[in-house]
Structure 1
Amino acid sequence: MPKFLRITLLVAVALVVIGFIYLKLTAAGEGDQAPEIQAELVDGTNFKLSDLQGDYVLLNFWGSWCGPCRVKTPSLIALHQKYESKLKVVSVALEKNAEAGRTVAKKDGFTWKYQIVEESSFVMLSSTAQKYGVTEIPTMFLISPEGILLGKKSLAEVEEIMRSK
């Protein structure tokens, strides 16, 4: 391999590593105030995450192209239906093509109001994902009624918490 190509590859890898470290250091962590999200929902209405204070919020980062995300969809829908009076689901689809996220969410049965599609070439380049330190999907966060980030949670963990409330 030519020396120039090796150096270029090494610099690229170093930049990716630095990017991951930067994301982890600057993202909100468990116990912090949940970073604000302001976006347009798929139905065209404006959304602010802070408007949901008073309820638990499950913030779900996913993508129409993500197999593991799609596998979890039926369980996510069931959780939403069971606890919708005290748990608001906010889904953030990270897509190269926004229409794909809208189409799959509708086809798969997302019935909750708070659906956001954010166009991004890579997950870690999404401004919303960066605020939360998301580098892979699916990733879910639970937010308390006071707006405090309770951390990354699995659907089973969210179910257990909701059952006790």
Structure 2
Amino acid sequence: MNRTRRFAFAALALFCAVPAAAQDPGELQRKMQEAYDCMTEANGLLSSPETRAAGVETYEKACRLYGEVLAALPEAALPETTRREWTMIAHYNIACARSLQGRSDEAFAALERAIAAGWRDLDHMNKDPDLEPLRGLPRWKQVVGKLEAARNAKLIEAAKRSLARGKLFDYDLEVRTLDGETVRLADLRGKVVIVDYWGTWCAPCREEIPHLVALQKKYRDRLVIVGIAWEHGNAADEDVERVKAFAKEHGIDYPLALASDPAELRKVPGFQGFPTTLFIDRSGTVRAKEVGYRPYPVLEALVEALLAEETPPAPAKKTPPPAREDWF
């Protein structure tokens, strides 16, 4: 609901420049605001048994107004971005009204139309008290699944576009793992490599770790993941044991190293925060840098895109020049 109020005031500013003769957008804006005001009034009326019937009727009025807006939008003289935004909000708020009226089938139908129109705010949807009556119903998972799929598809597309055509930046890796092995990027040529900078204290890192574990399991023969833990620069025995315990608890079976020197973080230009995940192609070139949590489909899309590229030829071995023969 707060989204709608902010939108209404923004729209007011948007149309200050519209000529006086262009009445249609202004009328639609008025109806959007009136519908929102009805939603707000109905919320208050529903809170009392004595006024519940009036609240249901007020929601009905809001839905009617939103319906009129939706019917007029295709022909309205509006920027396309505004048309899409109003379409999403109208359908979403109809879903809220129908939810609170107890008309779940109509609420779900409106919610799906909002998603089809471009609604992607899953967090808002999951927290909106107006949709609470729907969240315990089986169809809720289906609708949320559609939204997650649509949102992930957009993220995947953006992730693939983010793959640099060439080298993103110079990068080299040589670390000693917690198991005492040495991992060198130069030795991993021919495989896609993920280098994950993370920490046990970092909530988004912890959320993303299971995705990396799943990727390593699925692409084991073609993908190498290296985790570089940063425990605020500490590398005492207790820090090592904490990382090892975390790895055991979460089933991490790829190499882990513990960094204590900030120089390790400075290998990534403009290092911003955790997690920072590098995607390196089979020639050893950094092609993408993702900062922050990413859902599994996005991470997998980047791996798949790199795996789909042709395997670079092995570097030619230098042939020593023939021995010089001196003729006398």
TM-score over 0.5 for the pair: yes
Local SS of the residue matching 2:197: strand
Local SS of the residue matching 1:137: coil
Local SS of the residue matching 1:132: coil
Aligned to 2:193: 57
Aligned to 1:152: 289
Aligned to 1:10: none
Aligned to 1:94: 230
Return the offset for 1:108.
1.5
Distance in 1 (alpha carbons) for counterparts of 2:267 and 2:304: 29
Local SS of the residue matching 1:158: helix
Distance in 2 (alpha carbons) for counterparts of 1:87 and 1:47: 14
- Aligned with residue 41 of structure 1, among 152, 170, 177: 177
2:272 corresponds to 1:130 = no
Moved more, 37-46 or 58-67: 37-46
Which structure dedicates a bigger proportion of its chain to helix? 2
Structure 2 counterpart of 1:135, one-letter code = Q
Local SS of the residue matching 1:150: strand
Distance in 1 (alpha carbons) for counterparts of 2:304 and 2:281: 14
Return the offset for 1:103.
2.2
Rg larger in structure: 2
Return the offset for 1:32.
4.4
Return the offset for 1:33.
5.9
Q: Is the 8 A contact 2:173 2:185 kept in 1?
A: yes
Aligned residues: 131
Distance in 2 (alpha carbons) for counterparts of 1:158 and 1:63: 18
Identity of aligned residues (%): 27
- Aligned with residue 117 of structure 1, among 246, 258, 274: 258
| Uncovered stretches (5+) of structure 2, i.e. residues with no partner | 1-163, 309-328
Aligned to 2:304: 163
Distance in 2 (alpha carbons) for counterparts of 1:38 and 1:163: 25
2:274 corresponds to 1:142 = no
1:8-27 CA deviation, whole Å, 9 max, x = no partner? xxxxxxxxxxxxxxxxxxxx
1:85-138 CA deviation, whole Å, 9 max, x = no partner? 1111010001123332222122211111x2111125xxxxx2221111323101
Distance in 2 (alpha carbons) for counterparts of 1:65 and 1:152: 21
> Cα RMSD over matched residues?
2.1
Q: Is the 8 A contact 1:42 1:115 kept in 2?
A: yes
Q: How do 1:66-85 and structure 2 match up within 5 A?
A: 66-85=202-221
2:239 corresponds to 1:103 = no
Distance in 1 (alpha carbons) for counterparts of 2:168 and 2:302: 19
Which structure dedicates a bigger proportion of its chain to strand? 1
Local SS of the residue matching 2:221: coil
TM-score when normalising by structure 1: 0.70
Structure 1 counterpart of 2:242, one-letter code = A
Q: Is the 8 A contact 1:98 1:119 kept in 2?
A: no
Moved more, 69-78 or 96-105: 96-105
Distance in 1 (alpha carbons) for counterparts of 2:215 and 2:209: 10
Aligned to 1:20: none
